[in-house]
Amino acid sequence: MLKRLEIAGFKSFARKTVLDFSSAATAIVGPNGSGKSNVAEAFRFALGEQSMKSMRGKRSEDLIFAGSHSAARANRAAVTIVFDNQERHGKRPFKIDFDEVAIERAVFRDGASEYAINGSRARLRDIQELLSNANIGETGHHIISQGEADRILLSNPKERRAMLEDALGLKVFEFKKAESERKLQKTEENMGQVEAMRRELSPHLKFLGKQVERLERADELRRELVAACQTYFSIEEAYLESEKEKNAAALRAAADRLAVATAEIEKLEDASAGDQQGVVRAEAVRLAERELDRLLGERAALARELGKVEGVLEAAKQHAARASREPFAKIPREDIEALRDEIEKQAAHAGTTPESLAAALAAVRAAMRAFFDKHSSGDDAYLAEEERAALTVEQNRAALIERDAKAAEAIEAARAALSRARAAVLAHEETGREGRHRLLTIANERATQEAEVARQEARSRELALFSQEFEQARAEALALGGTQAVTYEKLAAPPAEERGVQDARKRSMERLKIRLEEAGGTGEDVRKEYEDATQREAFLARELDDLSHSAAGLRSLIKDLDDELSRTFAEGLAQVNASFGEFFAVMFGGGGAKLVLEDLDAGDGEDEDEDAPRQPQAAEKPGIEISVHLPKKKVQSLMQLSGGERALTSIALIFAMSQVNPPPFLILDETDAALDEANSRRYGDMVETLAKKSQLIVITHNRETMSRAGILYGVTMGGDGVSKLLSVKFDEAVAVAK
C-alpha cells in the first residue's frame, strides 16, 4: 500500500530524495549522524505530528535544512507520502477516488504550514480523517523511534489505552463519535435557540391571534352590515326616486294653478282700478267717523270739568254754612272723606289731553280751597273772598253747561252725517258685490296654491337633504363594508310598508356601523403579520421537531458507536493479549504477559468523605495495566525490568498490536539496538512474520535485521552536511551482512 516517500529540504535532506517501498520489508542503514532517523521523522511530519519534541526540534524552522558552507539553506521543507489505492474496495481503502493518494505537508521559515491531498489544499483534520479510515492514526503505535520503544510501558494507563485504541483502528469510531457529539451539541444549542425564539414569538402570536379573532368578529359584522346596507339602500333609493317624482308632479300642478289664479286676480283688479266713486264714498265715511270721535272726546272732557266745578260749589256752600254757625268749626270725618273722594274722582276722570288735565287740577284746587274755606275761623273778610270765589265758579259752571249743550248738538249732526255716508257706501257696494265675491274666491284659491307650492318646495328641499344623507350613508358604508355594501339590485318601486319600518332598518344599520368602527378596520396588516407569525411558528415547530429527531438520531448513533467501541475494544484486547503472550514467550523463552483493565474503584478510601456524594464513573474508561511474568524471575513491577527486558516487552506488545489490526506500514527506528545476538534472531523472525501483514521499514545497525529486508537503503553524509541515499539489492545486502 505504501509506494514511496519524497523528501525535499527536510532536516539534512537538502535535495529532493525519493525512497521506493516495493518490498515487504525495507531496511535503512547508515552510520550515526548520517540522517537515517530523519526518514522516520519525515514520516511523522507528513502524517501530521504536532509535537516538535517527537521530531527532535524546538520550532518549525528547525525542520528546514539550515545550510552549510557549500550548500545554501532551504526556505521550505516538504515531505510527501504516496500510497497505492488501486484496491479501493478492500478492507481499509482510502475513501478517495484516486489510484494514488499523495499526502503532502510543507513548512516555511515564517512558521506557516500547509497540507495537501493529491495537490489540493487540505486541513490537518482532513488528513487525520483520511488516514484513520485506512488504519493510520497517531504515529505512536506504528512509528517506533530510537529510545522510545518502552514508551508504551512507561505511559500511564489512560495513555496506554489510547495507544491500544489507536492500534485497534478505533480512531475512526472516535472521530465519528466526536463529530456526532459536536453535531449533537450544536443541535441542542440550535434547539435551545429555536425554543427561545418560540417562547419569544408566543406572546406576540397570542396577541395577534386575539386581534385576528376581533377582526373575524368585525368581518361577521361587516357581512351583516353589507346585507343591511343592500336592503336599506335599495328600498331608500326607490323611495327617494318615487317621492321626487311625486313632488315634481305636485309642484308643477300647484304652480300651474297658482299662475291661473294670479292671472285672473290681476284681470279683476284691473277692472276695478277705475272705480273712483267708491273710493270717494269710503273716504267720506272715514272722515265722518273721525269727526264723530273728536266731538265725543271733547264732550267727555267738558263733562269731567263740569263735575269738578259742581263739586267745588257744593263744598263751598257747606263750609259757609258751618262758618256762620261756629267760629271754630270742627272738621267731621265725613268731610275729610268727601275731600278724599273728590280728589280721587277728579284723578280718575282726568283725560290725557292738556285741557282735561288742567281742568282736573283746577277742580282739585277748588275742592281744597272750598274745604279750607268751610272750616276756617269765619272772618268776614275771608268769607267775602269765598263768596266771590264761589260766584266765579258758578259762572264757570254756567259756561260749561252751555258748551256741553252745543257739543251735544254737534255730535248729533256728526252721527247723522256718518249714517248718510255709510248708506251711500252700502248702496255703492251692493252694485259690485258679485265681482268682489269672485275676487275673494280667486284670492283664496291663489293663497291655497301659494301654500301648496311652498309646501312642495319645502318637500323638495327635504328630499334633497334626504338624498345628501343617502349619499353620505353610502360613502360611510363603502368605507366600512367595501363595494359590496353599495352594490344592490334596484327596485322598480318601494315596498308597500310603513315608513317606520325603513327607519328601523336605518337605526339597525347605524348600530352595525358603530360596532364595526369599534371593532376596527379591515386589519390586512394585522392578518398578514399573524399569517407570517403563524408560518414562522410552524416553521420553528418543524425545525424543532427535525432537530429533536436529529438529536435523537445522533444520540442513538453515539450509543451505537459506544457499543461498537466497547465490543471492538474488548475483542481487540483479547486478541492482543493472545498475541502479546505468544510474542512475549518467544522473546523471553517462556513466561507470560497480558493487558488488564485497571480497577477504577481501587483505593483505600481513607481520605474520602463518606457523606460527600459519589460522582458517577459510568462515562470514565478504565486504563490499561501490563502484567508480566518472566521465566525463572519474580517481577513485581515493570520498573524492575532491565533496559533490555523493557525493550523486548515493548517490542512484543507492539508486534502483538500490529498482528491484531495490521497497519499499512510499520517503522521501527533502531528498536533492536539493545538486543543481543540470540534476541536479534528472535527479533528478525518476528520481523519476517510481521512483514506478511504490514510493510516494514526498519532503521537498524543489526546485521540480522538487515538480512530479513528485501531492499536496503544506505544513508551517508558528506562534508556539505547533506544526506545522500544509496540503494542495495537483497543479494548484495546479504553479502554485506555476512
In sequence order, which residues have a C-beta less than 8 Å from that of residue 313 and are 6 or more positions away? Answer: 370, 390, 393, 394, 397
Higher pLDDT, 216 or 187: 187
| C-beta pairs of 279-282 under 8 Å, 24+ apart in sequence | 281/421, 281/424, 281/425, 281/428, 282/425
- Grid cell, residue 637, equals 513491577
Query: Which residue is listed with cell 525463572?
Result: 632
Mean pLDDT to the nearest integer, 170-179: 80
**HSE-up of residue 500 (Cα within 13 Å, Cβ side):** 0
Separation CA 383–CA 376 (nearest Å):
9
Range name among 262-276, 318-332, 514-528, 576-590 with the lowest pLDDT average: 318-332
CB 115, CB 105: distance < 8 Å? yes
**8-state DSSP, 16:** -
User: Does this model's pTM top 0.85?
Assistant: no
What sign does the dihedral 42-44-50-52 (CA atoms) show? negative
- Which residue, 226, 374, 235, 356, is CA-closest to 301? 356
Separation CA 429–CA 250 (nearest Å):
39
In sequence order, which residues have a C-beta less than 8 Å from that of residue 287 and are 6 or more positions away? Answer: 421
Q: What is the pLDDT of residue 278?
A: 60
Cα-Cα end-to-end distance for the chain: 31
Query: 3-state SS of 276-322?
Result: HHHHHHHHHHHHHHHHHHHHHHHHHHHHHHHHHHHHHHHHHHHHHHH
- What is the per-residue DSSP string for 570-611? HHHHHHHHHHHHHHHHHHHTS-EEEEEE--TT-S--TTS-TT
Residue 382 has pLDDT above 50, yes or no: no
Q: Is 222 helix (H, G, I), strand (E, B) or coil?
A: helix
Separation CA 346–CA 323 (nearest Å):
26
Q: Is 428 exposed, middle or buried (0-12, 13-18, 19+ CB in 10 A)?
A: middle
Separation CA 454–CA 342 (nearest Å):
62
Higher pLDDT, 512 or 663: 512
Query: Which residue is listed with cell 498482528?
Result: 659
**8-state DSSP, 6:** E
**Type and span of the H or E element at 3:** strand 2-8
Higher pLDDT, 430 or 453: 453
- Which residue, 168, 138, 135, is CA-closest to 595? 168
Residue 379 has pLDDT above 50, yes or no: no
Residue 70 — pLDDT band, cuts 50, 70, 90? Answer: confident
- Which residue, 83, 85, 67, 87, is CA-closest to 75? 67
Higher pLDDT, 397 or 328: 397
Q: Is 711 exposed, middle or buried (0-12, 13-18, 19+ CB in 10 A)?
A: buried
Q: What is the pLDDT of residue 8?
A: 92
**8-state DSSP, 144:** E
Q: What is the pLDDT of residue 618?
A: 45
Mean pLDDT to the nearest integer, 194-210: 83
- Which residue, 695, 673, 703, is CA-closest to 5? 695
Q: What is the pLDDT of residue 613?
A: 44
Separation CA 125–CA 112 (nearest Å):
16
Residue 387 has pLDDT above 80, yes or no: no
Residue 247 — pLDDT band, cuts 50, 70, 90? Answer: very high
Q: What is the pLDDT of residue 324?
A: 59
**HSE-up of residue 336 (Cα within 13 Å, Cβ side):** 4
- What is the per-residue DSSP string for 467-495? HHHHHHHHHHHHHHH-GGGG--PPPSS--
Residue 330 — pLDDT band, cuts 50, 70, 90? Answer: low
Highest mean pLDDT among 313-317, 386-390, 432-436, 691-695: 691-695
Separation CA 732–CA 144 (nearest Å):
27
**Cross-strand bridge partners of residue 72:** none
Residue type, 82: V
Q: Is 452 helix (H, G, I), strand (E, B) or coil?
A: helix
Q: What is the pLDDT of residue 612?
A: 45
Give the whole-number percent of the chain exceeding pLDDT 90: 8
Query: Which residue is listed with cell 339597525?
Result: 508
Query: Which residue is listed with cell 267731621?
Result: 332
- What are the backbone dihedrals phi and psi of residue 514, each rounded to the nearest 5 degrees, phi first? -65, -45
pLDDT digits (tens, 9 = 90+) for 574-608: 988 888 888 888 878 888 888 888 876 654 444 44
Mean pLDDT to the nearest integer, 485-507: 88
CB 32, CB 726: distance < 8 Å? no
Separation CA 12–CA 720 (nearest Å):
10
- What are the backbone dihedrals phi and psi of residue 325, each rounded to the nearest 5 degrees, phi first? -95, -35
Residue 361 has pLDDT above 90, yes or no: no
Residue 351 has pLDDT above 70, yes or no: no
Residue 35 has pLDDT above 60, yes or no: yes
pLDDT digits (tens, 9 = 90+) for 78-129: 999 999 888 755 555 677 888 889 999 999 988 888 999 999 999 988 888 8
For residue 208, the tally of other CB atoms under 10 A from its CB is 20
Residue 345 — pLDDT band, cuts 50, 70, 90? Answer: confident
Q: What is the mean pLDDT of the chain?
A: 80
Residue type, 370: A
CA trace torsion 211, 213, 214, 218 (10° rounding): 130
pLDDT digits (tens, 9 = 90+) for 604-655: 444 444 444 444 444 578 888 888 888 877 765 677 777 777 777 888 888 8
pLDDT digits (tens, 9 = 90+) for 133-171: 777 765 555 777 755 656 777 778 888 888 788 777 777
Q: What is the pLDDT of residue 610?
A: 46
Separation CA 78–CA 176 (nearest Å):
30
